[in-house]
Structure 1
Amino acid sequence: MTTLAAVQGDITTQRVDAIVNAANTAMRGGGGVDGAIHRAGGPEVLADCIARFPHGLATGDAGWTTAGRLPARWIIHTVGPNHAAGERDRSLLLSCYRRSLEVADQLGARSVAFPLISAGVYGWPVHDAVAAAVEAITGAASSVESVVLVAHSTSDFHRVSAAVRAHTD
């Protein structure tokens, strides 16, 4: 049984087996969470992305790299749908969480930290991004023991905390 918790903070400082990166299809770093993870992880992360994903990664899929200088052991990269660019298929967003947990299982990760995938620069409505995260994580058959949803802003943290509480009550 996977436990789910909400935390407010910086995903790059989470002490878990794996953190999830909201990447873009090119897998070469970017803005938002992706840029922060690449900066904090160091050049090893980009080098591993280039080696493992020479042709990028499809929306809704996930794969892993080293975590470089981060406290986590691995980074699980997943590409969320870009709502702002017209990618509005919710099943792709759900797939990001499910595929990330499948990759975590393949790695033997027991603890994973997720950001709210697609809720930043990709413009997915935050209320639905939170609902999709909770739905996908709690509905997944996974050996991961502990998942934290990391919210950067106070308002997102309150939304995530409420959704986690509602699910566990």
Structure 2
Amino acid sequence: MSEKKSRLLILYSTVDGHAKHICEYAQEKLKNSKEITIASLDDDSVQELNDFDEVLLGASVRYGFHRKNVYEFVREHKDALLKKKTAFFSLNLTARKPEKASPETNPYIVKFLKKVDWEPNLKSVFAGRLDYPSLNCPNRLAILLIMAITNGPKDLSKVHDFTNWSKVDEMVESIRNL
């Protein structure tokens, strides 16, 4: 008799698609050990949490904040989340600096979790990527200014990927063992 697989819901909130990419990567790595459903928080059909044993929520930061739908989701479903095994990752360029690359030292994940008063079982933070070529002019200029102030990359012709995939793999393995 085979052991029943844990049911994992992977949700993401993304601006440029990288949080979704990381969630799809986790889905691929975990597909043999968990029964997985993946969805965007932008979809109106956010799954019924009672159908799942575990929840992974991945969210990107833009201009210092996670998107509004992430705050709303956690607040609306906090009681259900507290009864499940949960994992959360934040994707923000500040995490490219070693001193801000952990859940305990990254200001955006700390501020978010405090604001929504939620403590997931597993927390991760990744630097993600900066895709200058795909940004519209106002966003490109705003992010360029932020990068100039924070000593980040300023080459507008490139995609700068800071994702530490070894850290993503560590998160995936931790989720496998939740």
TM band (smaller chain): 0.3 to 0.5
The higher relative CO (CA closer than 8 Å, separation ≥ 6) is in: 1
TM-score (norm 1): 0.41
TM-score (norm 2): 0.39
Name the structure with the higher strand share. Answer: 2
